[in-house]
Structure 1
């Protein structure tokens, strides 16, 4: 089994390459719980329970947004968790509007899979 540091580094590398769906498919547990600060603009709930719901939410977000100038600081590993500081520019696919965006993402790992993800942003 991979170490937490190896999982965190690989996950961050996949995100940095723009492969968020691949990272999710590879590392999210079937019973993952994903927390956003609020309901999404598309009406997705703040909490997605289970891999199918979390993947669906991520897919909808990626269908309407592109990530540009993606910078990831971390991972920062402690206990059974890691955190990433993520800075990017979001490009709205429908309008081309560009918006700077920063967030902190935390992940809890058990038995080599991410079982919880939380995002913090303003």
Structure 2
């Protein structure tokens, strides 16, 4: 889940990979981490959104989609619940402190918003 946090959560696949049924996996995960897999994934997505709001010149809607939320309303509500601020308030308070924001086109390319292009750029660079 940490590697593929931006994609949809396939709980059956994750549980199968761990060797558990879906329901047993959720119980075991919650016992180990104190939150369900869905809550964990949502928290990690919001953490990634915080980073992007501080560093990238992207709209809140673009960031919402890049971190794996399909609804701007859900994203904003979970973001505020976790940080105490709306995404816009968070950006106003934390963005650009002594550093220029990464241009949105570069941030989108790095985040994989242009399928096929990011892979070819990484191959050329490395």
TM-score bracket, shorter-length normalisation: under 0.3
Greater helix fraction, Structure 1 or Structure 2: 2
TM-score in terms of structure 1 length: 0.24
TM-score norm. by structure 2 comes to 0.23
Bigger proportion of residues as strand: 1
